[in-house]
Structure 1
Amino acid sequence: MKKIILSTLLVVALVSCKKEAEKTEENISMTDSADIVVPEPVAANASLKSLSTQQTTDFLQKKNDTLYVTNFFATWCGPCVREIPHFKKKIEELKDKPVKITFVSLDQKQVWNTEVPRFTQEHGIQDHTILVDGQLLDQNFFASNFKQWDGGAIPFTFMRKGDKTDETLGMMSEEQLNEKINSFLK
């Protein structure tokens, strides 16, 4: 039963992100080229740093009294974008607590210096975002770091405090996020 539920969640997440990408492409193709405004390139933000696969694994496996909440997203993923405000609110609420919320952008490398910095600044998460080249993440990476996630869909949120972990595939509501974080802070 658990496998059926997880499979269903995975399919829903994949379809949601795919539909968002198709909507964006459809809107672009339906727009007159004279109406398209190309944004000015954004200089790479010094706070956006990239991590290698090993550095990402080291980060994910930190075990101490801090709660690490890591949200894997991409700028083009609608469900990812919709849950960002919930995480931002928690960052503000928990700024004096031993909680570290980090966004991991899995966007393609060619937009690391343009779209990703613009997006993170627009959403106010530039100081909490790291870049990971998703092309380098193989099945060994996923099997070594996660019980459920195989990298097939986003958003994905991983929480760790000491030896306790939690994995959520798909978009989280504000209530779900609060409940999960509170369960770690008890």
Structure 2
Amino acid sequence: MKKIILSTLVVFSLASCKKESQKNEEGVATTDSTTILNKTEAAKVELKEISQQNLVENLSKKNDTLYVTNFFATWCGPCMMEIPHFKKKIEELKGKPVKFTFVDILDKAAWKDKVPAFARENNLENHIVLVDESKFDDTFFGNFKTWKGNGIPFTHFRKGDKTEEVEGSMSEEMLNEKINSLLK
């Protein structure tokens, strides 16, 4: 008899440990506090949507600052592979005349939740802008030597009159090489 009671208690205990979605005594579904906290934190991040014209102005600044503009999407594996390299360079070059901007152009549906959550998780809230690619006119891709919008990630570097472009994911070494060559 003791074994049956003990077995029943163990089964009941394990069943009550379910974390994600439980029903309380009134039969109302509840969620755990971490789910609520994560949604609240992501909602607090407000990313700025800019126009094609503002983006072009940022891409064409010709001064002593190095502008590194990376076009990405949160669903893009190669984009996500290079993000740690960029984060490391942002930290390394803090206080130097270098400005990093990440442009999400492809997944407007993710702008409300996925992109803000990504920005918060990676401490990139002040570096990400949103641009609606459906509003690009034919002149937009004329700002680049090689890129026609057919692949991401794509990174555009500009310092003064010097520009560099990389289509595809960059290794940490390649990113360092591009930045160092333009900072000379």
After TM superposition, the score normalised by the length of structure 2 is 0.76
Partner of 2:91: 92
Q: Following the alignment from structure 2 to structure 1, what is the Cα–Cα distance between the partners of residues 44 and 136?
A: 23
For 1:1-186, what aligned pairs fall within 5 Å after superposition? 40=39, 42-43=42-43, 45-46=45-46, 48-143=47-142, 145-186=143-184
Which has more helix, going by share of residues?
1
Q: Return closer, same or farther for 1:150/1:44 CA change in 2, 3 Å cut-off.
A: farther
Residue 31 of structure 1: aligned partner: none
Unaligned runs of 5+ in 2: 1-20, 22-34
Q: Which amino acid aligns with 2:50?
A: L
SS in 2 for 1:139: coil
Match of 2:152, SS state, is coil
Point out the structure with max Rg over C-alpha: 2
TM normalised by structure 1 equals 0.75
Deviation per CA, 1:117-156: give whole Å up to 9, x if none.
011111221111111112222432101x101000000000
Structure 1 residue runs of 4 or more that deviate by more than 4 Å after TM superposition = none
Preserved contact between residue 43 and residue 113 of structure 2 (Cα < 8 Å): yes
RMSD: 1.9
Q: Kindly state the Cα deviation for residue 44 of structure 1 after the two structures are TM-superposed.
A: 5.2
For residues 169 and 155 of structure 1, the distance between their equivalents in structure 2, rounded to whole angstroms, comes to 6
CA-CA distance at 1:107 after TM superposition: 3.6
Q: CA deviation at 1:166?
A: 0.2
Q: How many residues align?
A: 149
Indicate conservation of the 8 Å contact 1:62/1:162, yes or no.
Answer: yes
Larger relative contact order (Cα-Cα within 8 Å, sequence gap ≥ 6): 1
